[in-house]
Amino acid sequence: MKKCIFLFATFFLVAFVACDCPINKKTVEAEAVVEFQDYGPQPFVFDMEAYTLENDLFRQTIWTGTYMQLTVMSIGPGEEIGLENHGDIDQFIRVEQGSGIILMGDDPDNMENQELEDDFAAFIPAGKWHNVINTGNVPLKLYSIYAKPEHPFGTVHETYKEAMEAEHDH
Protein backbone atom coordinates (compact mmCIF):
# COMPACT_ATOMS: atom_id res chain seq x y z
CA MET A 1 0.00 0.00 0.00
CA LYS A 2 2.86 2.36 0.86
CA LYS A 3 4.37 1.63 -2.56
CA CYS A 4 1.06 2.46 -4.26
CA ILE A 5 0.71 5.75 -2.31
CA PHE A 6 4.34 6.60 -3.08
CA LEU A 7 3.86 5.93 -6.81
CA PHE A 8 0.61 7.93 -6.82
CA ALA A 9 2.27 10.85 -4.98
CA THR A 10 5.28 10.72 -7.29
CA PHE A 11 3.03 10.66 -10.37
CA PHE A 12 0.96 13.54 -9.00
CA LEU A 13 4.08 15.57 -8.19
CA VAL A 14 5.63 14.93 -11.63
CA ALA A 15 2.36 15.78 -13.36
CA PHE A 16 1.97 18.95 -11.29
CA VAL A 17 5.54 20.11 -11.96
CA ALA A 18 5.30 19.21 -15.65
CA CYS A 19 2.15 21.28 -16.05
CA ASP A 20 3.86 24.28 -14.47
CA CYS A 21 7.06 23.83 -16.47
CA PRO A 22 7.77 26.78 -18.82
CA ILE A 23 8.82 24.36 -21.57
CA ASN A 24 5.27 23.02 -21.78
CA LYS A 25 3.54 26.38 -21.42
CA LYS A 26 2.31 27.98 -24.59
CA THR A 27 1.90 31.72 -24.71
CA VAL A 28 -1.16 32.58 -26.70
CA GLU A 29 -1.68 36.21 -27.57
CA ALA A 30 -5.28 37.14 -27.96
CA GLU A 31 -5.94 38.75 -31.30
CA ALA A 32 -7.18 42.28 -30.98
CA VAL A 33 -10.73 42.83 -32.12
CA VAL A 34 -10.72 45.62 -34.67
CA GLU A 35 -14.04 47.23 -35.49
CA PHE A 36 -13.68 50.45 -37.44
CA GLN A 37 -15.95 53.30 -36.41
CA ASP A 38 -15.64 56.63 -34.64
CA TYR A 39 -15.89 55.80 -30.93
CA GLY A 40 -15.76 59.40 -29.71
CA PRO A 41 -16.54 61.09 -27.51
CA GLN A 42 -16.99 57.99 -25.27
CA PRO A 43 -14.07 56.58 -23.25
CA PHE A 44 -12.27 54.02 -25.42
CA VAL A 45 -9.36 51.64 -24.73
CA PHE A 46 -7.93 49.66 -27.64
CA ASP A 47 -4.86 48.22 -29.38
CA MET A 48 -3.56 51.23 -31.33
CA GLU A 49 -1.05 49.19 -33.33
CA ALA A 50 -3.69 46.63 -34.37
CA TYR A 51 -6.09 49.32 -35.58
CA THR A 52 -3.34 51.10 -37.51
CA LEU A 53 -2.02 47.96 -39.18
CA GLU A 54 -5.48 46.57 -40.01
CA ASN A 55 -6.63 49.76 -41.72
CA ASP A 56 -6.45 49.61 -45.53
CA LEU A 57 -8.33 52.84 -46.27
CA PHE A 58 -6.67 56.18 -46.89
CA ARG A 59 -8.16 57.74 -43.74
CA GLN A 60 -10.57 56.71 -40.98
CA THR A 61 -11.43 58.50 -37.78
CA ILE A 62 -11.29 56.24 -34.74
CA TRP A 63 -12.10 58.77 -32.05
CA THR A 64 -13.40 62.35 -32.18
CA GLY A 65 -13.75 64.41 -29.04
CA THR A 66 -14.22 68.08 -28.31
CA TYR A 67 -10.49 68.91 -28.22
CA MET A 68 -8.79 65.98 -29.94
CA GLN A 69 -9.18 63.49 -32.78
CA LEU A 70 -7.47 60.24 -33.81
CA THR A 71 -7.31 58.98 -37.39
CA VAL A 72 -5.57 55.97 -38.94
CA MET A 73 -4.18 56.13 -42.47
CA SER A 74 -2.83 53.81 -45.13
CA ILE A 75 -0.81 55.53 -47.85
CA GLY A 76 0.15 53.41 -50.85
CA PRO A 77 3.69 53.23 -52.27
CA GLY A 78 4.48 56.47 -54.09
CA GLU A 79 1.36 58.18 -52.70
CA GLU A 80 1.11 61.06 -50.25
CA ILE A 81 -1.18 62.73 -47.74
CA GLY A 82 -1.10 65.91 -49.79
CA LEU A 83 0.08 69.40 -48.87
CA GLU A 84 -1.75 70.56 -45.73
CA ASN A 85 -1.84 73.42 -43.26
CA HIS A 86 -4.23 73.03 -40.34
CA GLY A 87 -4.11 76.64 -39.15
CA ASP A 88 -4.81 76.48 -35.42
CA ILE A 89 -4.53 72.68 -35.01
CA ASP A 90 -1.46 70.84 -33.69
CA GLN A 91 -0.85 67.38 -35.15
CA PHE A 92 1.05 64.27 -34.06
CA ILE A 93 1.91 61.47 -36.50
CA ARG A 94 3.35 58.04 -35.66
CA VAL A 95 4.41 55.45 -38.24
CA GLU A 96 3.63 51.78 -37.49
CA GLN A 97 4.70 50.33 -40.87
CA GLY A 98 6.60 51.45 -43.91
CA SER A 99 8.91 54.31 -44.76
CA GLY A 100 8.63 57.76 -46.21
CA ILE A 101 9.49 61.39 -45.80
CA ILE A 102 7.75 64.24 -44.04
CA LEU A 103 8.10 67.78 -45.34
CA MET A 104 7.40 70.71 -42.99
CA GLY A 105 7.84 74.46 -43.08
CA ASP A 106 6.36 77.94 -43.00
CA ASP A 107 6.38 78.25 -46.80
CA PRO A 108 4.86 75.47 -48.95
CA ASP A 109 7.55 76.10 -51.56
CA ASN A 110 10.42 75.82 -49.09
CA MET A 111 10.01 72.92 -46.67
CA GLU A 112 12.59 70.73 -44.95
CA ASN A 113 12.24 66.97 -45.21
CA GLN A 114 13.06 64.20 -42.80
CA GLU A 115 12.95 60.42 -43.11
CA LEU A 116 10.14 58.44 -41.48
CA GLU A 117 10.08 54.72 -40.75
CA ASP A 118 8.53 52.21 -38.33
CA ASP A 119 8.14 53.66 -34.82
CA PHE A 120 9.05 57.23 -35.86
CA ALA A 121 6.86 60.12 -34.82
CA ALA A 122 6.49 63.75 -35.87
CA PHE A 123 4.95 66.77 -34.16
CA ILE A 124 3.52 69.33 -36.56
CA PRO A 125 2.84 72.70 -34.92
CA ALA A 126 -0.32 74.60 -35.85
CA GLY A 127 0.15 76.72 -38.93
CA LYS A 128 3.00 74.68 -40.48
CA TRP A 129 2.74 73.42 -44.03
CA HIS A 130 3.38 69.70 -44.27
CA ASN A 131 3.11 66.59 -46.40
CA VAL A 132 3.93 62.91 -45.88
CA ILE A 133 5.07 60.85 -48.86
CA ASN A 134 5.42 57.05 -48.93
CA THR A 135 8.87 56.31 -50.41
CA GLY A 136 8.75 52.58 -49.66
CA ASN A 137 7.28 49.59 -51.45
CA VAL A 138 4.62 48.70 -48.84
CA PRO A 139 1.70 50.78 -47.55
CA LEU A 140 2.74 53.45 -45.05
CA LYS A 141 0.53 52.80 -42.01
CA LEU A 142 0.28 55.63 -39.51
CA TYR A 143 -1.96 57.23 -37.00
CA SER A 144 -2.50 60.91 -36.53
CA ILE A 145 -3.75 62.84 -33.53
CA TYR A 146 -5.20 66.29 -34.10
CA ALA A 147 -5.69 68.70 -31.23
CA LYS A 148 -8.56 69.95 -31.94
CA PRO A 149 -10.48 67.74 -34.39
CA GLU A 150 -9.72 68.32 -38.05
CA HIS A 151 -12.25 66.02 -39.77
CA PRO A 152 -16.01 65.63 -39.16
CA PHE A 153 -17.12 62.89 -36.72
CA GLY A 154 -17.08 59.46 -38.38
CA THR A 155 -14.94 60.47 -41.38
CA VAL A 156 -13.93 57.63 -43.70
CA HIS A 157 -11.99 58.32 -46.91
CA GLU A 158 -11.31 55.19 -48.91
CA THR A 159 -8.93 56.98 -51.27
CA TYR A 160 -6.80 60.11 -51.55
CA LYS A 161 -9.13 61.42 -54.26
CA GLU A 162 -12.15 61.01 -52.00
CA ALA A 163 -10.28 62.79 -49.19
CA MET A 164 -9.40 65.74 -51.44
CA GLU A 165 -13.01 66.04 -52.63
CA ALA A 166 -14.23 66.05 -49.02
CA GLU A 167 -11.71 68.74 -48.03
CA HIS A 168 -13.60 71.18 -50.23
CA ASP A 169 -16.80 70.44 -48.29
CA HIS A 170 -15.50 71.55 -44.88
For the segment 87-111, what is each residue's pLDDT rounded down to a tens digit? Answer: 999 999 999 999 999 999 999 999 9
**Closest to 144 (Cα-Cα) out of 83, 43, 57, 59:** 59
Query: Using CA atoms, how far apart are residues 146 and 67, in angstroms rounded to an integer?
Result: 8
Residue 8 above 90 pLDDT?
no
Q: Are the C-beta atoms of 69 and 155 separated by less than 8 Å?
A: no
Confidence of residue 27 (pLDDT cuts 50, 70, 90): very low
**Torsions phi, psi of 142, nearest 5?**
-145, 165
Question: Full-prediction pTM beyond 0.85?
Answer: no
Preceding amide of 149 cis, omega within 30: no
User: DSSP state, 41?
Assistant: T
What mean pLDDT is predicted for residues 60-69?
Answer: 96
pLDDT at 11: 47
Which residue stretches of the chain are H helix?
2-20, 48-54, 160-167
pLDDT tens by residue, 117-132: 999 999 999 999 999 9
